[in-house]
Amino acid sequence: MTNHLFSSFKMRGMVLDNRIVVSPMAQYSADETGRAKDWHFMHLGNLAISGAGLLILEATAVEPKGRVSPNCLGLWSDNQVPCLKRIVEFARCHSNTKLGIQLAHAGRKASMSAPWQGSKGLLPEESGWDLVSASSLPYPGRPIPQQLDHIEMDKLKQHYMDAAIRADEIGFDLIELHCAHGYLLNTFLSTLSNTRKDKYGGDLQARMRYPLEVFRAIRAVWPEHKPLGVRISATDWVEGGWTIQDSVVFARELSMLGCDYIATSSGGISPNQKIPVHKGYQVPFAEEVRRATDLPSIAVGHIMDGLQAEEILTKGQADLVAIGRGMTYDPRWAWHAAELLKVKVDFPPQYARSSPAMRKLPR
């Protein structure tokens, strides 16, 4: 019987061993200059030997004020390259998992404390900074952000390009551009956060303009053989906001610019969102984008085990499945999925004897 979850998948020159993706997951554990620390080496090294086909690093800021917190990763400086290169080299030595990085800017949701410190907004005198966004509309409960002008937007595009060049130098196989969850590029897309009167605000085509420009700028400097995908919020879950229909239009525009996949998350632009969370609740968005465009889709959100993931792929609802919190709770998620589906997977030789197939009961 055909097994989809553990079949290979090709994007440009990158071939994944299977369809399991480790989602980007913020760790709030970099130093104050945005450099990865030992926690990242442990966290990412562990996930690199998880058996997943692709591991995508957490949202990584392209400039200092693009961080969610003062301890989020950055790639705006050459000084941040060696720490990430060390992690990539370790992963290369011990697994065939491909490695991606998510480039991001937190926009009006930046300058926050870590979740275990209350996720509260930080003022400049509290190690925080002033916020920027598509418009001078604050996220409820946060300071009013500065609306980016055209000069600042051009500088920011260059920051994305510079970060992509550094990502290639480090050795990443893939870039995911973060256009979701109420962060900067997402604020250009949604009517709930974009009230601009220039060419970057108004109708759907205008609101898509800047995220598409950023994507085009990255694609221009990112090697042709390496994939570049986009994570979107497929809907705002707020009446009058961004919809799945808008997402399909956006995905088609991205496809024409050379986008390789769409990861379909949702929400984050407004605390008024009404999200009916349940098992696989975002999978229909991946299915709709896949059906309506020529782009591969990644399904995310409450994908609990290998049987559910296999069903999603078998039904043609997505091309890949991404696991986030489930992977940190069970870093051997892929091994256990293989056991459920009766598929043989590779283990690091140091761990091979932990496989049930290698265990022998005493006589």
> Which residues have a catalytic role annotated?
183
By the 8 A CB rule, do 53 and 9 touch? yes
Determine the length of the chain: 363
Give the bridge partners for 11, in sequence order: 14
CA contacts within 13 A on the Cβ side of 65: 15
CB atoms within 10 A of CB 209: 18
Q: Which run of H or of E encompasses 99? A: strand 98-104
For residues 88-101, one letter each, b for 16 or more C-beta atoms within 10 angstroms of the residue's C-beta and e for the rest, the string is beebeeebebbbbb
Asked whether 219 and 167 are in contact (CB, 8 A), the reply is no
For 142-178, letters b (16+ CB in 10 Å) and e give: beebebbeeeebeebbebbbbbbebbeebebbbbbbb
93 token code pair? 């030595």
* 8 Å CB contact between 5 and 310: yes
In order of 31, 191, 203, the CA distances from 262 in angstroms are: 31, 21, 22
DSSP 8-state class, residue 229: E
Instruction: Kindly state the greatest CA–CA separation across the chain.
Output: 78
One-letter amino acid at 218 equals: I
Dig out the tokens for 80 from the structure: 């941040």
Query: C-alpha 170: how far from its chain's center?
Result: 18
* Distance in angstroms (rounded) separating the CA atoms of residues 310 and 61: 33
Q: Which of 199, 194, 287, 229 is nearest to 11 (CA)?
A: 229
Which two tokens mark 272? 């008024």
Cα–Cα distance measured from residue 104 to residue 24, given in angstroms and rounded to the nearest whole number: 11
